[in-house]
Amino acid sequence: MTVTADSSTSLPSGQAFDTLISEHSKPLLAYTERLLNDHHLAQDIVQETLIRAWRHTDRLYSTSGSIRGWLLTVARNLAIDWVRSAAARHESVGGEDRDVAQPDHADAVVGSASAIALLHGLSPEHREVLFHMYLGGKTMRETADTLGVPVGTVKSRRHYALAILRNRRSTPAA
């Protein structure tokens, strides 16, 4: 590729710069994407690389190496600078955690609300037994002692309370 610079401004002519962009932007983008693992950041790095090429045409065209080599070196240096500055600010470097879905607690809220509604449908005696056994972690004997009722009563209240909850849960609300 032969690119000529405007003699009056030391900037490449419009057509020469368009040629530079069309020939080198895709390889630059692929290279920076591999370095950063982030497409959008790679686009920013390529844009900055091309801006620097536009500003420093004297270095771009006077080097003994290839133009693409100069562009890749600038892009690599910009990527390294960005990674180092991001690490210093304790920001994430990769794109893999940018689009991570945040857990939604709506299901838990709905579940809690429906459980509360179901429990309110029980008699206070049934609710009390379930509270001591399931939320309090007590055994049937401990629950019976706490409530001052026989163990058999605790067993039957728990059985009927769970049966009522199962029945109401499987039946849709009217």
Sign of CA dihedral 16, 20, 22, 23: positive
Can you tell me the distance from the alpha carbon of 73 to that of 89, in angstroms, rounded to the nearest whole number? 24
Tell me the per-residue pLDDT of 85-116, one tens digit each, with 9 for 90 and over. 866 566 655 555 556 666 778 888 888 888 88
Residues 15-34 pLDDT 10s: 777 888 888 889 999 999 99
Q: Which domains does the chain possess?
A: 14-88 (1.10.1740.10), 106-168 (1.10.10.10)
DSSP string, 77-93: HHHHHHHHHHHHTT---
Inform me whether the pLDDT recorded for 119 exceeds 90.
Answer: no
Task: Identify the pLDDT of residue 55.
Answer: 86
Question: Tens digits of per-residue pLDDT, 33-60?
Answer: 998 888 998 999 999 998 888 888 777 7
Which residue, among 104, 137, 134, has the nearest Cα to 119 in the 3D structure?
A: 134
pLDDT at 124: 92
Number of residues assigned to the chain: 174
Cα separation, 73 vs 29, in Å, equals 13
Q: Helix, strand or coil for residue 12? A: strand
Quick one: residue 148, left, alpha or beta (phi over 0 = left, psi -120 to 50 = alpha)?
Answer: left
How far is it, in rounded angstroms, from Cα 29 to Cα 15? 21
pLDDT at 63 over 80: no
